[in-house]
Chains A and B, each alone.
Chain A
């Protein structure tokens, strides 16, 4: 038995402890984060799975908890991600400006996340939401960009405040902050407004189009471990809100008879599709591997939105499964890139190459992660995408379906690039000496994650079973699953069979590769090009700019959202400058003029 309250308080206290330990010894402080987050994960997962979590509160004021399958699902996933990523902390903590603070904020944001998933009170939900924003906010600037933090703040606050607005509207309708009863009490226009506001919150947290600007900036520029946490963990807060907004609240607007879908569902699905396409196209362009993965995260957020808004049993379970699959895959990928960056100090594809020679395990982890992201069997990403495709086609959303397929192919295109650029190709001279495999404790989480990715792809039924509980809870028909089969609307999937076929295929290919090996390794200098001898060890591989012609097609449109917000910001700045210039002079005349005008307005009625 374990009390949620105690777990949260424990996490927060461990955070404070890690701060003081970190003041004494930086690395020791971050070791505390590992121990604490592992402990939290284990206790949440174990007691949660066995329904032994106690939700009563004794210490915390105003906060009440409840255990729902939805919350538990997300909590286990996100605590797992936090626990895995925490293994990286000791290796990176040296580089941060405030290492002790880093450890503390890391654990505090974990505490906040737990609070979000377990509270049954909207006010506490908002409180924890803000708490997570603020604790994670100060983690971001320890990385490369200071601006990323303010744009993260801006968008997530827009989300939080939309949430708050919705909360207050629901409170007016129901007189309570309780999540279940206040959501049940809204109807009609109010429900539509609430649902739209919650959707805004979900969009902001997920970084979906058009609230997407912060996500690539934050993921691309945070410290490496934090990028992983954001992509795998914190971004999923958005998915949590999306479930509340899109699944638990009824859709609104004009209902199309043929498909039974409402206008709001079309709009959100369209935005989700745009997110997918936009994220994919942007990811294809990136040079920085972390940025690339950032855009990939964004496009995967689009999948989750599309899936959740359709709200059929296949789509919701597909969406939730995608949450798991993407969390695992992108965390693994970010960790792999982080490992590379720890060894070489860069994540730019143009500055890297041939890391496979020194970091084979990292390479393998990354490979597995991107296979899952691209939705290729036998990884977890395949299962979720299979379910989502079915739901989309079933509902006749042709354009969305096109986007979804495009995203899938596109993701294969882009995730392959870092693979080729970072790991394959020629080894670069500047990294040749320093490169070695990542330390053991960094490999541990990566390997665990890869194992899970394969497991989710081969035997999805364990997770789908849990997701079915969630589905029942939020009022969607559960998915039909056998012991080794998944039944969709258009057919039955046998992941284990597919996996074994794939396994055999890969095995054969591997044997052929080993037995019939024709290639020979030569040094960089040991070659010539077009009759010229090479005198310097320069890079000769062509894994950059694979898709230059494609990029040229949409080059002009890549910055629409960024430009929009830039322009919005400039408008605010202009307004401010204008006001300053206009009102704040050293002459009394403006003030007097306005006094006269205001008096005139008030008196006008009397004259007439």
Chain B
């Protein structure tokens, strides 16, 4: 019944070290419930069968209405059982939520329908949490808009990401692998699409840092990935792709063009100019546009900026 690492009938596979404790408690309560259920339902069915009213005026054979011993037992026995479960439950809860010292720390920010993961060295991934195996990982949860809830069934952890303050959760993945993340606090239209993946890498693979450079999802070219980011990250709100002038200049035919800059001599649009405008937009502002663009430093890593630039190149 208890699910080993491959997951049983009731519970998903145990991905983290603490999952075993939770499953043990789950099984104890489960078998206790089965026992009491069979006891009570059995009694009901047995009594109904045994004392079925045969003739219309058949009266009850016993009118006993009180038995102190029985009533006492079925008050105190459940009470003791329940206190045991409470104590065990609270201990498991503490193991599950209090992170050990020196855990690897990741800042998780939920926003309407996607999860962002910020690592201590500044790398930011959306939708993918890369963690080392066999090392405790502490998650620092917060939200940008409404309450979301970070739930990883395989690690048996769940914690609401409350806007306006931090909440924490921790786990230590047992082995490399992939685990599904859900959002379990209702947060609007695409609440059911707010999924993410926890990618557990071996120690060496994690330290090598190859995962830091975010790579386009499988089967997608760099330019297409740039287009996808164009929609997701917010460029679409101010820069059009069909030449129409919005808050910012249109991307259509932008690459290689000469742009007149306010207060400076005109500049040819190349990779450096685009990278600089993304990282520090106020540096060079094109004539006739408001200085309204926010900086994306810390939100987009180099691989993503290259992808966006590739995408802009394709817009002739």
Q: Do A and B bind each other?
A: no
**Which B residues are closer than 8 A to A by beta carbons?**
none
**Which A residues are closer than 8 A to B by beta carbons?**
none
